[in-house]
Amino acid sequence: MIQGIPLEHFLIVSTIMFFIGVCGFIIRRNLITMLMAIELILNSVNINFVVFNRYLYPDQLQGQFFSLFIVGIAAAEASVAIALIINIYRKLQNIEVENVNEMKY
């Protein structure tokens, strides 16, 4: 539709990106890299919202607003997560997930 690109191609790209994020979340054992995988996941969801808005409901703006709010939530989440990571590093001197079991009861 837009420059002859069908909707499905956008969706396939964002799906593959989402599952790359899931895979990275599973195989990596470092807190910052897991945070990056979460950013990948949120970003792929954003692409979905915007593309559905453009192709299916071009007379409204819902998808754009939802992705705006997701970007805001991602910013809040990243700031809190990085504060936690720095605090953990101060206590344990590294940020591997296996070592963060001091809170276990």
25-64 positions binding other proteins, by CB under 8 A: 26-30, 32-33, 35-37, 39-40, 43, 46-47, 50-51, 54-61, 64
A 10 A CB-CB count for 49 gives 19
Q: Using CB under 8 A, which residues numbered 2 to 21 contact other proteins?
A: 2-3, 5, 7-13, 15-21
Q: Are the CB atoms for 44 and 7 separated by under 8 Å? A: no
Tell me the closest approach of the beta carbon of residue 45 to other proteins, in angstroms.
Answer: 11
Residue 49: which of 31, 36, 62 has the closest Cα? 62
Helix residue ranges, H only, 1-105:
7-27, 31-56, 62-92
Question: Should residue 99 be labelled a site residue for other proteins when binding is judged by CB under 8 A?
Answer: no
Size of the residue set binding other proteins (CB under 8 A)? 71
Q: Report how far Cα 57 is from the mean position of its chain's Cα atoms.
A: 24
Closest approach of other proteins to the CB of residue 88, in Å: 9
* C-beta neighbour count of 53 within 10 angstroms: 19
Q: How far is the CB of 89 from other proteins (least distance, A)?
A: 5
CB of 101 to other proteins, least distance (A): 17
